[in-house]
Chains A and B, each alone.
Chain A
Amino acid sequence: MSSSYEEIREAAELAAAPRRAPERPLLRVDLSTSSIAAEADRLWEALVPLCAERGVDLIRVGTLGLSWLQPVVELERPGAGAVVYGPVPPAEAAEFLDAALSADPAEAAARWLIGARTPEAGVPSLDAHPFWAPQERRLMRSMGVIDPESLDDAIAEGAYEALDRAIGMEPMAICDLVLAAGVGGRGGGGFPAGQKWKFLLGAPGPTKYLVCNADEGDPGAFVNRVLMESDPHLVIEGMAIAGKATGAEYGFIYIRDEYPLAIARMELALVQARERGLLGEDILGSDFSFDLEITRGAGSYVCGEETGLIASVEGLRGMPKIRPPFPAQKGVFAEPSNVNNTETYANVPLIVRRGADWYRQHGTESDPGTKMFSISGALVRPGILEVPFGMGMDELLLGCGGGPPEGREPKGIQPGGPLGGLLPASDLRLKLERPPFTERGVLLGSGGLILFDDRASAVDLTKYFSEFCEDESCGRCTTCHGGSQRLVEVLERILHGDGRAEDLERIGVIDQTLQNANCLHGQFTPYAVRGLVNYFRSELDVHIEQRRDPALAAPGLTRYLVTDPHSAELAGARPLCPTGAIVDRAAPPADHAAEEGERAEIEPAGLTIDDARCIRCDVCRELAPQAVRVVDRFLAPLEAV
């Protein structure tokens, strides 16, 4: 006997009450991958007995997105607000807890205080925080607030309400609604989801499949991970609604293996949803059946391409295929299928619940709604946030992210992963929507934005992206695999001072060749080098013509020079040099030594760096910044005078 949604909701609200309207102090601990990296699991261990002694309830939550302040916790007291604190190192757990529980936490717990998420007298609001203020948290509304491992908490906040409504709707009406909202493919493609669903709805049955692309391979992008770790039921509900809209009764969630916590939480969420009759046969007493399974990836970037993803779900090598046939015609196991990004599916319950007009209140004509961005690199405040499409990139990276550390200048931006390209710092003014990025020859992509400053070499970064593309090329097209190999060779040569005048032309030819690759992986591989040529041309020219890296970062173009051979710091660094490259200076020639013998005894020859052994690791300069300088390898004198 299945229960109606109202009954399920009522029971869930009752069960979740102690967390929604706590009668005792409630401590929420961010237990996500990023907080666990900051030892939040140790903090949790320390807090368990402390909270028990003090009559405080303790729950795990997902992340609020304040990654640079991890481990983050939030204390909500009955009759007061929910105040966010961090970082709280495990060793400070007891001290912190007593301070936060005191009558005046703003004073007593000031050193951990971030802000009040819900108003509390005397505590500055989180809304005033530069990272928080411009956000429009829709997908992230419950993240960091609810326990991602509790179905009751999710339902009490409205999860599966939209599924209940969608079950009563005609499939075409759901497709039309999603199309009217204008939600586009969040993996970066931007293709209208509603349109894609109509293709699948129109495809012949009976067997159709849905696939959720959670193979978030772009380094620096972690939007999908945060979604699945912090609010897994949002993704599941979105897929179930898509199932109703397209006539698919089964789906696969393809999660990359680098996300073990996301996999565990999604597995748990599936079990919970089945148990409550929200997945499986005859959902919520209707005749609609839908179920999901998780496919664990195994480390392949190109599986993020939809046909590669399908091959991988089938248990084959994840090699992309030529389209057409499109997945809606012939997808998983040759049946009609639909592939969407995790974030695309997650938007759907909100659209069904609130309507297309509500959805379009934010965002732009080309990209309605909001977008989650993960920002990192040379930033004071890296993290994950959700803002309306159309916001200025400067507002996001310099405002929310705080820009580069003091004394550093932004040099460029790397949007959209290894295939996304490079932009100069002047393009920080661009609006965050797809068209301005496409016009500049780059991709906005799936939400990862990396700022780099004057410490980074644009040529080195480009070589890295090209290497990444070479490594991850499936090998089907010679254009892609061979082309990216040649590209790496050319850049490698340039970075070792062997650049040639004709290299620019050569890069252009490789670029053109790569555009003929069969899938987007090969076609987008040259975006990075194109960005280098278009926007960092002078830096590239200096590398080739003067054999010099202005950022003094490329190991092949720099040398470590001792400016103070007698520095005590340098002597201290000597045993730490990984290759033993800090050596005694050669003794002066014999006759010379005889003449100055007396002096040499008093003043030893001092230290120098053996360039052949030096791996440019920077250890000596970290310890003896006054005694060591990085100089151009081919230009600077061999010895400091």
Chain B
Amino acid sequence: MERFAGLLGQLPREQGQMLRALHLAQEELGWISRDAIRLIARHLRVSEAQVYGPATFYAEFRHSPPPQTLVTWCSGPSCRVVGGDRIRRIFEAEFGCRLGENTADDALGLWLGQCNGTCERAPMVWVNGRVVGPLTMVDTVRLARRLKDGEDPIDWPEQPIKIAPATFTGAEEVYGSAHAAELDGAAR
């Protein structure tokens, strides 16, 4: 919370910084707590209600702590026309929670995701942000059960590539390291 308060303090005190402030809270704290709303309201010099409004209007902002493992189910039509809705029913049955909820111990969560246009992998889900698909229904059951057993069924690379390193000859001269630090901040 202290770190969040510090970073929040660096944002200009403008209404236009609202989404940025809320994104910051979610990144730092994992979710938008009542305390975070109060801090943002004080910093932006608006009422708590004026923060609470946007915080609940936008689907991305969460109001309870995130689960350890998050399965995001793609609701898009490309998934749906090839059986996507069945995947939702399987996860709901296996996890014992409804879409949008966490399991009682917060170990697993099944949340709604909006299509990000990787439709060639339909039908799919994201497990902690990584696309898993195309899934058969049998795959789905197996995936859900491995997640329930606390397994990480996907051996992902350490850091998902956002800004990839360049390795061609002369990369140093072309990219330099001058704005690497700046980019590091910008990419977040």
A interface residues (Cβ-Cβ under 8 A, vs B): 15-16, 18-19, 24, 26, 31, 33-34, 36-38, 41-42, 44-45, 48, 51-52, 57-60, 67-68, 70, 147, 149-150, 152, 216-217, 219-222, 225-226, 257-261, 264-265, 267-268, 270-272, 275, 295-301, 312-319, 333, 374, 376-378, 382-383, 414, 418, 450, 452-453, 455-456, 460-461, 464-465, 468, 474, 555, 576, 578-579, 615-619, 622-623
> Given A15-B173, A455-B82, A579-B93, are A298 and B77 neighbors across the interface (CB < 8 Å)?
no
Closest CB in chain A relative to B130 CB, distance in Å = 8
The residue from A44, A221, A259, A450 contacting B81, defined by CB atoms under 8 A apart: A450
A400 and B124 alpha carbons, distance in the complex (Å): 23
> Is B16 an interface position by the 8 A CB rule?
yes
The answer to whether A150 and B175 touch across the interface, beta carbons within 8 angstroms, is yes
Interface size on B, residues (CB 8 A): 72
A618 and B113 alpha carbons, distance in the complex (Å): 22
The answer to whether A617 and B117 touch across the interface, beta carbons within 8 angstroms, is no
**Contact sample, A vs B, 23 pairs, CB 8 Å cutoff:** A18-B169, A34-B117, A34-B118, A41-B164, A42-B157, A58-B167, A60-B164, A68-B120, A149-B166, A220-B76, A225-B117, A270-B186, A298-B19, A299-B59, A300-B57, A316-B15, A316-B53, A317-B54, A374-B117, A382-B120, A450-B77, A576-B138, A578-B90
Contacts of A622 in B (CB 8 A): 136-138
A163 and B23 alpha carbons, distance in the complex (Å): 33
> Given A313-B16, A450-B78, are A299 and B58 neighbors across the interface (CB < 8 Å)?
yes
A565 and B44 alpha carbons, distance in the complex (Å): 67
The residue from B15, B114, B182 contacting A299, defined by CB atoms under 8 A apart: B114
> Given A70-B120, A271-B186, A382-B119, are A464 and B16 neighbors across the interface (CB < 8 Å)?
no
The residue from A68, A217, A296, A318 contacting B23, defined by CB atoms under 8 A apart: A296
B interface residues (Cβ-Cβ under 8 A, vs A): 14-20, 22-23, 44, 53-54, 57-61, 75-78, 80-83, 85-86, 89-90, 92-94, 113-122, 124, 130-131, 133, 136-138, 140-142, 144, 157, 160-164, 166-170, 173-175, 179, 182-183, 186-187
The answer to whether B118 and A298 touch across the interface, beta carbons within 8 angstroms, is no
Interface residues of A, dominant DSSP: mixed
A265 and B161 alpha carbons, distance in the complex (Å): 12
The answer to whether A578 and B117 touch across the interface, beta carbons within 8 angstroms, is no
The answer to whether B59 and A298 touch across the interface, beta carbons within 8 angstroms, is yes
The answer to whether A578 and B121 touch across the interface, beta carbons within 8 angstroms, is no
The residue from A51, A265, A315 contacting B19, defined by CB atoms under 8 A apart: A315
Contacts of A468 in B (CB 8 A): 75
Contacts of B117 in A (CB 8 A): 33-34, 216, 220-222, 225-226, 374
The answer to whether A261 and B81 touch across the interface, beta carbons within 8 angstroms, is no
Closest CB in chain A relative to B78 CB, distance in Å = 4
Find the B residue at minimum CB distance from A580: B93
Closest CB in chain A relative to B128 CB, distance in Å = 13
The answer to whether B20 and A296 touch across the interface, beta carbons within 8 angstroms, is yes
Contacts of A48 in B (CB 8 A): 167
